[in-house]
Amino acid sequence: MITTPRASATPRRRVATALLALAAMLSAGACSVANSGPEASSGAANTVRVVLPEEPPTLEPCDASLTATGRVTRANITEALTERDPGTGQLQPALATKWNQDSPTEWTFTLREGVKFHDDTAFDAKAAAFSIDRTVGSKIDCNVDGYVFGGIELTATVVDASTLKVKTAKPDPILPLRLSFVEIVPTTTSTTGKVREPVGTGPYKIAKWDTGRSLRLDRFAGYWGKAPDFAAAEYVWRAEGSIRAAMIKSDEADVAVGLAAEDGVGDAAVQFPNNETSYLRIDATKPPLDDIRVRQAINSAIDRDGLVASVFAGLGKPAGQLVPEGVTGHSSAIQPWPYDMAQAKKLIAEAKADGVPTDTTIKIIGRNGIYPKAAEAMEVVQNSLIEAGLSVKIEMLDVNAWLEYLLAPFPKNLGPTLLQAQHGNQAGDAAFTMGQIYGSKGAQSSYGTAELDDLIGDAEQASGEERQTAFAKALEYQNKDVVRDAVIAHMTGILGLSKKVTYKPNAATNDEMRLADLHPAG
Amino acid sequence: MLTFLRRRIASSALPLVVVILGVFCLARLTGDPGNLYLPLSATPEMRAEFAARHGFDQPLFVQFGDYLTQVFRLDFGESLRTAEPAADAVLRAFPATLQLAGATMILAILGAVVVGSWAAYRPNSVADRVASFTSTTAASMPDFWFAIMGVLVFAVALGWLPTSGTEGAAAWVLPVLTLLIRPFGVLVQVVRGAMVTALSAPYIKVARSKGAGEVRVVFGHALRNAAPPALTVAGDLTVGLVNGAVVVETIFGWPGIGKLMITSILQRDFAVLQAAVLVTAITIFALNIVIDACYALLDSRVRQGVTT
């Protein structure tokens, strides 16, 4: 049948009109994406451009222990009373100029005078006490509360405008260190919900957050300290590492965070120890892993040098403990387990001869993307353990499914497992590692012993050199008599840096990138 | 026509409810969000407080009842991750995806109509073979590879285009090209096949014998009758894009709904996920109805078949 022009005119006109209308709508928006203003000016003079792997969920200061939040907020927008030097591990004055322990449970902080918030209000002891109350024991799920304080009770009292007293229910020798995580905000900050755009005392203030696209910080003219070199910072985020690397190469960004070797940033790559240690947590409650010889064999069978060289492309350093150098409690006596397949085979054979069911299948619970080449690393480990005489399978999971295995209570009816994990100690004290990971009741602990609990408990109450020695002793005991882990490597991060900027990354860079440490090149 | 639309809307309601219920239940089977939103060292008391505060300690049917009540009040809840209303996040991301999908499909359809008709006009000619080779290659191109290569060549090596982002017309080129290439390849093949059949039909000979020009014969008579199968395939491809161009949005930092949904799934941000799925599902159902309506407009047999 042939349709006549008359019969076809109406529907055809309708379709054409609709198409024209759609085309007009699209062309109207062709220069900008819906609901967005122009992206912050690219490469504007005296602006440093940073590309992140993800957009900060919020800039809430009490969530500053979250990497995605902390690396923008901490020391840039907000500041704490104290700050830890990531190089030396020493605690430095920040908004508090000095502090003194009056008794085992009481501390006095002398606050810096002449400091202003971005909203021009004055920083004083009232703001400091308010910020501590808002963060500790919070009803707004502050990450810092769980990460740093974990149920510790404390009371902050204003003595005068520049003096603050903090009292703890139990003696806490590292309270000033814990307070380095409490970012100070004005008393006008919400106590019923998290804030996306906080006001702080830092060298930069939020100029514009175009959600989903970019974030711009401007230098705070009223900053109490030395003014940073860059007048502004512009953050964008790209999930794909190769795109972040390409942005450095095409001069769209000055700093690219969280790169991997295969992202191809080339000469612009800067390597740095990223404060993370990869390890396998051994579930020592179930056979055959409940036999220490099997756990020792697992450690002997892993070729750490080979893993670092081939799988991690040289980005890392074989490790023997979760507490790296520079963190209080690190033991220089602990070395990485030497690779000795013959010894591993011998230990497994001995255990088998004594009736240990070494042919029971052990499951490696891995996490995709926990570090570059995570799955490949587990395949290498699996191969080594099979060679040593064990039966091993791998199951790779996404973050939340993996967390079900990381955190107690663990799934029921679980067989023997090795959990692929990574630990970073941002705080610089072994207390933030030992209790939760090695204590028998720790949130991430699959096994512990009363002796180790006692050693950890003693170390937590100690201070100064005694604290260092006590934690090191606990780590050495773990490594020799418990062998709950197979620690693999202290990991290395890669930062992309354009030729326009100089910056020396450090162990804290992943969690806290201080814009004031970035300088124009030349 | 109204009867046709009424029936299509009614038949879409049940799948919509199934989608909402499915997303709600399945999301909650994937693990406790408290594990993600609280620090690893959080105490059991903190975890219990978190669950109570967000209603995760309630039985599933109670949570679903609360959710439905909220939805009827157009309240989709608050994002666990960003502490902003879930509706704000979705309504910010969805137009960005619609724009990208719209631009892509308009260009793909226009290009496919021209190239497909050109190829069909003289079957087995050099033009036909070039078009077939090009469309097959385009339809088989992995979008992830094409996107990365596009960035490396046009942004890094040549410096003609930005690597990513959303600012300016230049920023649209690589995302649209990446999304365009596969629909273009598929549609060229569909248009070509339908046009070959249409151009050999008796009514075309009649039209030519009446003195109609070739442009009118091809685009006026043959294309109109070849359009329904192309429209069906184009509709299906559009639905795929509206559902979120995840790869393109992730690579190019495009703040669209696909990227938002993936982030919500990975972060167990239930409120945002549910709002995003609901809005996307409604849009897809609406889009299908529009496509069916266009189909009916183009072919009176479809209208008559439905209304009789």
pLDDT at residue B39, as a whole number = 77
Nearest to A400 among B36, B103, B159 (CB): B36
Q: Quick check: B92 and A252 CB within 8 A?
A: no
Name the CA dihedral angle for B207, B210, B213, B216, rounded to a multiple of 10 degrees.
Answer: -40
CA angle A235, A237, A239 (to 5 degrees): 160
Per-residue pLDDT tens digits of chain A, which is 522 residues long? 333 333 344 444 544 444 444 444 444 444 455 555 444 444 456 999 999 999 999 999 999 988 899 999 999 999 999 999 887 888 999 999 999 999 999 999 999 999 999 999 999 999 999 999 999 977 888 889 888 887 788 999 999 999 999 999 999 999 999 999 999 999 999 999 899 999 999 999 999 999 999 999 999 999 999 999 999 999 999 999 999 999 999 999 999 999 998 898 999 999 998 889 999 999 999 999 999 999 999 999 999 999 999 999 999 999 999 999 889 999 999 999 999 999 999 999 999 999 999 999 999 999 998 998 999 999 999 999 999 999 999 999 988 788 889 888 888 888 999 999 999 888 889 999 999 899 998 888 989 999 999 999 999 999 889 999 999 999 999 999 999 999 999 999 999 999 999 999 988 898 899 999 999 997
Q: Are B165 and B253 in contact (CB under 8 A)?
A: yes
Distance CA A211, CA B83 (A): 13
Nearest to B165 among A151, A236, A249 (CB): A236
Buried b (16+ CB within 10 A) or exposed e, A215-240: bbbbbbeebbeeebbbebbbbbbbbb
pLDDT at residue B244, as a whole number = 64
User: Within 13 A of B256's CA, how many CA atoms are on the CB side?
Assistant: 26
Distance CA A367, CA A278 (A): 12
Distance CA A247, CA A240 (A): 11
Strand ranges, E, within A354-480: 361-367, 391-397, 417-424
Q: Are A376 and A260 in contact (CB under 8 A)?
A: no
pLDDT at residue A2, as a whole number = 34
- What's the Cα-to-Cα distance from A121 to each of A254, A504, B115, B186, rounded to whole Å? 33, 33, 66, 62
Q: Are A334 and A323 in contact (CB under 8 A)?
A: no
Q: Quick check: B33 and A400 CB within 8 A?
A: yes
A362 — phi, psi (to 5°)?
Answer: -100, 135
Rg of chain A on CA atoms, in Å: 27
Which of B28, B40, B100, B199 to probe the A interface (max A CBs under 10 A)? B40
Q: Are B236 and B53 in contact (CB under 8 A)?
A: no
Distance CA B283, CA A450 (A): 60
- Among A277, A280, A282, A281, which Cα is nearest to A318's? A277
A516 C-beta neighbours (distance < 10 Å), count = 18
pLDDT at residue A441, as a whole number = 86
- Residue A383, H or E segment: helix A374-388
Residues of A in contact with B103 (CB under 8 A): 26, 30
Q: Quick check: A15 and B92 CB within 8 A?
A: no
Segment 110-139 of chain B within 8 Å of chain A by CB: none
Q: Quick check: B163 and A247 CB within 8 A?
A: yes
Q: Quick check: B254 and A252 CB within 8 A?
A: no
Provide CB contacts within 8 A for A18, sequence distance 6+: none
Average pLDDT, chain B: 87
pTM of the model: 0.85
Average pLDDT of the residues in B4-27 = 82
Give SS3 for B168.
coil
Model confidence band, residue B7 (pLDDT cutoffs 50, 70, 90): confident
SS3 of A265-329: the string is CHHHEEEEEEEEEEEEEECCCCCCCCCHHHHHHHHHHCCHHHHHHHHCCCCEEECCCCCCCCCEC
Which of B28, B29, B37, B41 to probe the A interface (max A CBs under 10 A)? B41
